[in-house]
A and B are shown apart, each in its own frame.
Chain A
Amino acid sequence: MVNAEAYMRYISNQLSESERDSLREKLLADSELSDSFADWENESIDSLAHGRLSPAEAAAIGDYLAATHQQSRIALAAALSKPRRAAVSPYAMALALAAVLLLTFPVTRLWRDRNTAAPAAVAVQLFPGTLRSGGVMQQVPKSAGRRIQLQLQYLDATPVGKCRVEIESIVLESDCGAAEHVVALPIGLASGRHRVDLIYHDGADRFVYFFDLID
């Protein structure tokens, strides 16, 4: 599958030689894919500039930029997204405020799996549009032997539709933006910072969530 993770693995030299050959050929033949990679790169650099990447992703992008003498792009990304009086719409400000207010809700246990055959589950809420460096991080308590369910909550204006949910190596096809949207984390997921990507099928919309899985 060619996605944002493939981009990260490509620039981090984590692909096998045959994977690399295959991806390179696709990138040369397919303008849309090349543009998608360039877009993911820009978004990654912007996220790096604002402290929104996981440590592993930040290290990967930082090493790539250093190796290719492109560190100045980090400063440019910070400058480009710096608010300008004329460019900030009241609508965007209201949305940002809404996101912050939602984030002040504590992580809540919502639901416990009643199926006795399955391990008990803990559900936590995640909200989109969360982090800047030093901002509030959703913390998800890890409970031994229990499956963790993430219930994704949306603002009213979030698009509804088919999308791909990516959590680490897990890729799920799902209905995003729906009221009851729950994704399960694998029991063996390591403690630390994790990222959830919702990628809508038109390829243009992407939501990113972060959470800290804590012991």
Chain B
Amino acid sequence: MYSSPRWTLDANAFEKLLAALAPERDAAAVRYEELRLRLIRVLRWERTSDPESLADEAFTRLARRLVGGEAIADVPAYLSGIVRFLVKEDIAQRQRALPLEGDHPASETSGNEIERAHAALERCLAALDGAQRALVLGYYQGDQMARIFNRKKQAAALGLALNALRNRALRLREKLETCVRGQLVRDGSVPNNTKGKGTW
């Protein structure tokens, strides 16, 4: 939906994009994945309708500039400018498609929903290896006080700084959320009304 009709990201353009991120290809590929994750998050916080597709579109527009010979020294800053336009375009597109959108139904989380989420979560947890399962459960278990103490104990046991532990837990939670959402969509508990398939 958001792909440019006259220009697509081919292999050559993608290589130019990677080269703009880092001199070495492997490092560039890692940087691309990290930047894509940050881009998707920003587009979600900006309340766009399809963060993943828009992130890809942002990279396509960036690559097009690079192929055209433009020198871009600060890629995140340049992407930020692209995102600004994409957000405006997305708002305009939604206003054309759904003029009355904006009244979001209030959502009470019922006991049944929690039970279904719990069942889905158990299935998704079973797909993680034991260490990952222990890490994510330990990290998000309990209330505020218990969490603080559990996390210190976890970090010490794993020999990690608290920030490193947090980042591992974040990645695992994102993985679990994607998995749980997929399960809930499949069993009909959640409508498949988001276009993005991954991070939400």
Residue positions of A touching B, CB distance < 8 A: 10-11, 13, 21, 24-25, 27-29, 31-32, 34-35, 37-39, 42, 46, 49-50, 52, 62-76, 78-84, 87-89, 91-92, 95-96, 99, 128-129, 132, 155, 157, 202-208
Determine whether B77 belongs to the interface, using a CB cutoff of 8 Å to chain A. yes
The CA of A128 and the CA of B145, in the complex, are separated in Å by 7
Does B150 contact A24, Cβ atoms closer than 8 Å?
no
A27 CB contact (under 8 Å) in B42, B114, B136, B173: B42
B189 cross-chain contacts in A, Cβ below 8 A: 72
A72 cross-chain contacts in B, Cβ below 8 A: 113, 117, 180-181, 184, 189-190
Does B146 contact A92, Cβ atoms closer than 8 Å?
yes
A65 cross-chain contacts in B, Cβ below 8 A: 107
Does B162 contact A129, Cβ atoms closer than 8 Å?
no
Does B143 contact A34, Cβ atoms closer than 8 Å?
no
B162 cross-chain contacts in A, Cβ below 8 A: 202, 204-205
A72-B184, A76-B117 given; A81·B142 CB < 8 A: yes
What are 6 A-to-B residue pairs whose CB atoms are below 8 Å?
A: A34-B38, A73-B177, A91-B149, A128-B145, A202-B163, A204-B161
- CB closest chain-A residue, reference B200: A70
The CA of A21 and the CA of B174, in the complex, are separated in Å by 26
Does B34 contact A69, Cβ atoms closer than 8 Å?
no
The CA of A79 and the CA of B141, in the complex, are separated in Å by 10
- Chain A's nearest CB lies how many Å from the CB of B132? 14
Does A96 contact B121, Cβ atoms closer than 8 Å?
no
Does B42 contact A28, Cβ atoms closer than 8 Å?
yes
- CB closest chain-B residue, reference A48: B109
B44 cross-chain contacts in A, Cβ below 8 A: 68, 70
* List of 8 A-B pairs having minimum Cβ-Cβ separation, nearest first: A129-B145, A204-B162, A66-B104, A75-B117, A79-B118, A29-B76, A92-B146, A28-B76
Interface class of chain B by DSSP: helix
Interface residues of B in 19-36 (CB under 8 A from A): 34-35
Which size class do B's interface residues fall under?
35 or more
Residue positions of B touching A, CB distance < 8 A: 34-35, 37-39, 41-42, 44-47, 74, 76-77, 79-80, 83-84, 104-107, 109, 113-114, 116-118, 120-121, 134, 136-138, 140-146, 148-151, 153, 161-163, 165-167, 170, 173-174, 176-177, 180-181, 184, 189-190, 193-194, 200
- Chain B's nearest CB lies how many Å from the CB of A210? 10
Does B76 contact A96, Cβ atoms closer than 8 Å?
no
B116 CB contact (under 8 Å) in A11, A39, A46, A75: A75
The CA of A31 and the CA of B141, in the complex, are separated in Å by 25
The CA of A49 and the CA of B144, in the complex, are separated in Å by 13
- Chain B's nearest CB lies how many Å from the CB of A31? 6
- Chain B's nearest CB lies how many Å from the CB of A124? 20
- Chain A's nearest CB lies how many Å from the CB of B62? 11
B190 cross-chain contacts in A, Cβ below 8 A: 72
Does A28 contact B47, Cβ atoms closer than 8 Å?
no
A67 CB contact (under 8 Å) in B79, B84, B104: B104
B181 cross-chain contacts in A, Cβ below 8 A: 72
Does B180 contact A76, Cβ atoms closer than 8 Å?
yes
- CB closest chain-A residue, reference B151: A204
A203 cross-chain contacts in B, Cβ below 8 A: 163
B121 CB contact (under 8 Å) in A79, A128, A202: A79
- Chain A's nearest CB lies how many Å from the CB of B165? 8
Q: Knowing that A35-B166, A37-B45, A68-B194 are A-B contacts, what are 14 other residue pairs whose CB atoms are under 8 Å apart, sorted by A's residue number?
A: A25-B80, A29-B76, A66-B107, A72-B117, A75-B113, A78-B114, A80-B137, A83-B142, A92-B141, A128-B144, A202-B162, A204-B163, A205-B162, A207-B148
A79 CB contact (under 8 Å) in B34, B77, B104, B117: B117
The CA of A27 and the CA of B121, in the complex, are separated in Å by 29
